[in-house]
Amino acid sequence: MLLGVRGSTPAPGPDYVRYGGHTSCVGVIGTGAAVPTLLMDAGTGIRSLPGLLGSEPFRGAIMLSHLHWDHVEGLPFCRAVDRNDARVDLYVPEQDGVSARDLLARTMSPPSFPIEPEGLLGSWRFLGVPEGAASIEGFEVTAADVSHKGGRTVGYRVATATRSFAYLPDHAPSRGMTPAAWNLLEGVDLLLHDSQFVESERSLADDYGHATVEETMALAAKAGVGALVLFHHSPVRTDSQLDRILEIADSPVPVVVAKEGMRIPVDPTQLDSVRVTA
């Protein structure tokens, strides 16, 4: 379930209503489960999580792709993860010899923020992203470093026995892909991928380490994915512009333009059932 689909900053206002203004956060709901136990990133979209959980706390794992603000700024503002009965394993791409906890504290501690990581209520563990495939909350999760800008960034492949998706919200494939990065997305049922810019904004994409819609479509086709979700929209891309975004290029792969509140089955044959519930 897509809880936040923007990059960089939230996008409030009347031009950003239908696709939503929250920054990156995706809830992963296992087969037969009612609520997410795995979250991809913790942008402001995580604030919608209590609405899914009702009176229950979140119990599960949060996989951070990287530590840029738009991927962590919702973390201390979500009641479902910040309560005494919550249980959260937070996975952080470790770097520079600094622990996961201390990396988070660089953003989340005074004077930048009122509390330190230990100020979050509930049972928290601050963990490094696992090397290779790991079993997390019943999913097989694989992380690999991907090209972006400013600090270490990883992408994820999340699989069950029968289905798989890849999550690369911030990715500049034009800077090159390692075999490990390529393996994340090759042949997945669903690819959620950076589509912050379009080719006419190529210099911005290069400056900020992001992808364009056109190159993301080409990448998805080359990787043989089942379906593509255009994700991490620019905060200035309006609803009417996003309505027309698929007109700029043809994709041989079925494409969904990410909208906040969308529930997307990890099954390319079921895309007709995609609906928005928020």
CB of 61 to Zn ion, least distance (A): 20
For residue 175, CA distances in Å to 102, 172, 210, 246 come to 29, 6, 10, 24
Q: Give helix then strand counts, H and E, for the chain.
A: 7, 15
**CB closer to Zn ion out of 170 and 214:** 170
Q: What is the DSSP letter of 56?
A: P
**CB closer to Zn ion out of 67 and 86:** 67
CB of 177 to Zn ion, least distance (A): 17
Within 13 A of 173's CA, how many CA atoms are on the CB side? 26
Residues contacting residue 31 through CB under 8 Å, at least 6 positions apart? 160
Binding residues vs Zn ion (CB under 5 A): 7, 68, 70, 170
Residue with tokens 């079925």: 254
CB of 69 to Zn ion, least distance (A): 8
**CB closer to Zn ion out of 48 and 196:** 196
**CB closer to Zn ion out of 69 and 77:** 69
**CB closer to Zn ion out of 40 and 53:** 40
Distance between CA 207 and CA 77 in Å, rounded?
30
CB of 151 to Zn ion, least distance (A): 8
CB of 62 to Zn ion, least distance (A): 15
Supply 17's token pair: 């209503």
Supply 53's token pair: 């959980």
